[in-house]
Amino acid sequence: MGAGVQVDVGADRLDVPAADGTADAMFVHPRGGGPHPGVLLYTDAYGLRPRIEEMARRLAGAGYAVLVPNVFYRHRRAPVLDDLDALMRSSDRALLFDQLRPMMAALTPPRVHADAGSWVRFLRDRGEVGQGPLGTVGYCLGGRLSLRTAGEVPNEVGAAASFHGGNLATDAEDSPHLAAVRSRGELYIGHADNDTSMPPGQMGRLTEALAGAHVRHTGELYVGAQHGWTMSDTAAWNEPAAERHWDRLLDLFRRTL
C-alpha cells in the first residue's frame, strides 16, 4: 500500500489463548480486502490504553492486521493499573513503577518465548492475516520483546522493530540481543538520545552482535528525543521524531512483509 494511504479499520477487543491462561488483547485490521500482513505490536510498560489503540489503528490503516496483546495478563487485564492516567501524569513516578516493576520482572525469557508462540498462532489462525512473514514492533519494554521474538520464532518473523527500547544488549546471559542474533528477518532499532537504559556501550554491543551474526539491521539515534518519544500521552512525546518513526516503520514493513 502506498505511503500516506489509509483504509477503514475495525478494532476488536478479544481474549487470546496464551501460555499461562487467557490474555486480553486488541486486534485491529482493515475492513474488507485482504488478507493482510500480520503484525504483533508490543506495548510499553504502561500497557493497552487509548494511545496504543491509536497507534494500532494507524498501522492497520496502512494495510496491516495488528495484534496487541496484554503482556501482563498473568497479573490482570488492561488497564494494567488502577488510576493509570493519573499515575502517568504524576511528577512522582515512584508509585507507578513500584507497581509495574514486579510485572515487568515476571516477563522472563521463557515466558516471552512461550507467549510469542501464542501470539503467532492467533495471527496464523485469522482469516484477515496472510500467510507471508509476520512483523513485530515494540516500544520501550516492548522493544525488548520485539527483538527477542524475532530470534525466538525466526521462521515466522520477517521484520522486527524496536523504538526507545531499553537494556537491549546487557552483559546478562539472557540479554535480548543474544536472541536477536538468531533472527532471519530485517531489524530496525530506533534509539532515544541520552537514554540511561540504552547507553552507547549497549548500542555498540548490539550492533556488533547483529553484524557478527550477519543479521540485516539498521540502528538509528533520534537526536534530541527522550526515552518514550513516540507516546503522546507522556511528557517524552516528540511529534517530529514520532513521525520519523512512522516513516521508518512503514518503510521496513513495506519492503519485508
Query: Which residue in 155, 196, 195, 160 sits closest to 177, CA to CA?
Result: 160
Alpha-carbon gap, residue 161 to 140, rounded angstroms: 11
pLDDT digits (tens, 9 = 90+) for 8-21: 999 999 999 999 99
- The contacts of residue 220 (CB under 8 Å, 6+ apart) are 188, 189, 190, 191, 248
Taking Cα atoms as reference points, which of 183, 71, 178 lies closest to residue 133?
183
Question: Could you count the other beta carbons within 10 Å of the beta carbon of residue 89?
Answer: 13
Per-residue model confidence (pLDDT) at position 3: 46
**φ, ψ for residue 188, nearest 5 deg:** -130, 130
pLDDT, residue 160, reads 98
Q: What is the mean pLDDT of residues 204-232?
A: 97
Q: Would you say 148 and 176 are in contact if contact means Cβ atoms under 8 Å apart?
A: yes
More confident residue, 5 or 73: 73
CB of 206 closer than 8 Å to CB of 219: yes
63 and 29 in contact (C-beta within 8 Å)?
Answer: no
| CA 113 – CA 144 distance, rounded (Å) | 12
Dist CA 82 CA 150 (whole Å):
32
Prediction pTM value:
0.96
What are 186-213's pLDDT values in tens digits? 999 999 999 999 999 999 999 999 999 9
pLDDT greater than 80 at residue 118: yes
Please say if the pLDDT value at position 140 is more than 90. yes
CA distance 67 to 11: 10
Could you write out the three-class secondary structure of 112-179?
A: HHHHHHHHHHHHHHCCCECCCCEEEEEECHHHHHHHHHHHHCCCCEEEEEEECCCCCCCCCCCCHHHH
Residue 1 has pLDDT above 50, yes or no: no
Mean pLDDT of 48-69: 97
CA distance 38 to 131: 8
**Higher model confidence: residue 252 or residue 6?**
252
Nearest CA among 180, 208, 203, 205 for reference residue 193: 203
Q: Where do the domains of the chain lie, and which CATH numbers do they carry? A: 9-256 (3.40.50.1820)
Mean pLDDT within 221-241: 96
For residue 34, what pLDDT is reported? 84
